[in-house]
Structure 1
């Protein structure tokens, strides 16, 4: 049987999602805890490969297991997992369902503040320049006119496909917090943080809208590489799937 996992995590102390040798990762912790509790090797496949320090309010992953998952398993699992990871639900899905390839959209939010606050330092970036949110929203809207985001792709990325369909992209401001929201069918490695950094240069009038357009059109990897922002303010917040991959029953806590 195939099962989906819905989880959330604080990524501060993790080297990203994907399993790597000799470093602590979200996927590695999940595989270890699931394998120990279910007494068989479990391979976890995530919906997205978040970078080092990036958080998730909603992440999905899948795994295969021959037996039923009992209702009290989730309770035991969350006791066993590190405090910074919480599995919110586990539920069976159709056998063809894939956490990564069946996702139709992913939404990220990035939080930053121009007011120093020590209690925000792990979840919000302190950015001390004044910003023009009107110009930032002009730049954010322009993103939806393009499909090729090679300019915001990491130089050593192995991806041969830099085409992404952006469904929404905008900035909001509330209680001294700037929030950037972006939704797309897929994202390239560090693409969101590179886009944000470049839009912030528009917001502080370091570059203008025409220059922002030109950066995208050039399609050069990390053409404006100095603008990538820290991971601490970035959250994966929502992933959408087609309804036909799900059954009704869930195991939640």
Structure 2
């Protein structure tokens, strides 16, 4: 039987999601906890990788169990064993061929910025004290929603077959003393969102105009785009699956 497990985590202490040699990762901690509770080796597959320091409001993983294994109270047991910065939220039975990674039809992220020093946002939001034009940054969102090739915003030397991504929605909003960037797409490239935010900030500061922003995307040249903003402000927010994957 296959299950989808929804988890949340603060990524500050981890070298990203994926298991690595000689580095603490969220996936390794989760695998170890599941293996301990279920008394068998469990290897999870996540909906996608998050980099070092990136957080998840909702990450989905799948794993398989023999039919006779019961999962009642599994989230309760996991939360007693997992460290404070990882929580198990919900477990659901799915079709035996459903993949947390490949069955997803949409992924959404949030990037948080704040402009005044706030100790409660340290390592959970990016302090950016320069004034920005949110209207201009939202105009740049309209451009990315019409774009498909994001090679200029991808990490170089990445092993992907295509740089094509379909952006379903992108917008900036002001939230109390914070600026929040929301973006959803069918897929994202490595480093894409942090580079996108860094380039949009150039628009917000008036350092480039919208024509230049579009030209950067068209160039497919990462060196022309803005810097990669810090990982602390980035959150995997939601993953959408077809309803028929659930049983």
Partner of 1:223: 224
Q: Distance in 2 between matches of 1:196 and 1:39?
A: 43
- Gap runs ≥5 in structure 2: none
- Gap runs ≥5 in structure 1: 248-253
TM-score, normalised by the number of residues in structure 2: 0.97
Alignment of 1:96-175 (within 5 A): 96-175=97-176
The alignment of Structure 1 onto Structure 2 pairs a total of residues equal to 246
Partner of 1:250: none
TM-superposed CA distance for 1:114, in Å, is 1.3
Partner of 1:27: 27
Secondary structure of the structure 1 residue equivalent to 2:164: coil
Secondary structure of the structure 2 residue equivalent to 1:12: helix
Partner of 2:84: 83
Q: Distance in 1 between matches of 2:195 and 2:115?
A: 19
Q: CA RMSD in A?
A: 1.0
Q: 1:155·1:222 contact (CA, 8 Å) conserved in 2?
A: no
Q: Deviations over 1:62-109 (max 9, x none)?
A: 001113333122211111111100010112111011000000000001
Partner of 1:234: 234
TM-superposed CA distance for 1:60, in Å, is 0.3
Moved more, 64-73 or 17-26: 64-73
TM-score, normalised by the number of residues in structure 1: 0.95
Is 1:190 paired with 2:195?
no
Q: Deviations over 1:12-55 (max 9, x none)?
A: 10111000001010111111111111111111000010111111
TM-superposed CA distance for 1:242, in Å, is 0.1
Partner of 1:11: 11
